[in-house]
Copies of this chain bind each other. A is one copy, B any other.
Amino acid sequence: MRQIKQTAYHHGNLRRAIIDAALEAITESGPVGWSLRELARRAGVSHAAPAHHFGDKAGLLTAVAAEGFEMFADTLERAADDVLEVGVAYVRFAIGHRPYFEVMFRPELYRMDDPGLKAASERAARVLVTSAGRLSPSPAQDRLTTIAAWSLAHGFAGLWLSGALPETAHDDPQALARSVIRLFFGTTH
C-alpha cells in the first residue's frame, strides 16, 4: 500500500493500527466523535501510546488526510484519460472512502503544512485542472471550467455524504453522479 517506516516493536505496527482504528471511528461517528484514548483501547495499548506516533490529535488527522490525498490522487490519475470518469472517480472516492474524504476537506482539523500531504493534494489538483481544461470552450475559460467541474463533483459528494439528497439517490450514487455530470458535459462519450 504505502511505505511502512515502523519496524515491529512491541505492538507490531501500532501506527497503522491506530490509523485503522481512527478510520473505523470516523466512519461510525464522524471526524470528531471519538477520543484518542478510545483508539488506544481498540488497539489494545495504553492511553498515551498514540501520542508517540502522531504527537496529538491533529497529528493523527494529518496522517489520515495525507494517506487520503495519496489514494485520492491515485484514483483520479487512473481515470485521467476520460474527463467524465474523473468526475465519477471523484464521487466514487468520496463515497467509497468516506472517512478519508471527511477529513481531507476540513483543513482546520489537521496541519496543512505537512509536506507529504501538500504534495499529494497538489497531485490530485493537477489531474482536475488538466482534465477539466479539456472541457473548456476557450482557453480564457479554463479556470472557470475547472472550478465549475470541481464544484459539481465536490458538491454532489458533499450532499450525498451529508444525507441531504432524496432517498432515491442512495441506491446507486455512482450512476446518478454519472448522469448528473453527463447532463452538463454532454454525451460525447
A152 close to B (CB within 8 Å): yes
Mask of A110-127 contacts with B, CB within 8 angstroms, 1/0: 000000000000000000
How many residues of chain A have a CB within 8 Å of chain B? 37
Please list 24 pairs of residues, one from A and one from B, whose beta carbons are closer than 8 Å in the complex, sorted by A's number: A30-B109, A32-B32, A105-B159, A105-B162, A105-B164, A141-B183, A144-B179, A144-B180, A145-B183, A147-B156, A147-B169, A148-B152, A148-B180, A148-B183, A150-B155, A150-B159, A151-B151, A151-B180, A152-B155, A153-B155, A154-B155, A154-B158, A154-B159, A155-B156
Given the interface contacts A154-B155, A183-B141, does A163 sit within 8 Å of B107 by beta carbon? yes
Which residues of chain A in 148-189 are interfacial with respect to chain B, using CB atoms and an 8 Å cutoff? Answer: 148, 150-159, 162-166, 168-169, 176, 179-180, 183-184
The answer for the CA separation of A93 and B150 in the assembled complex, in Å, is 20
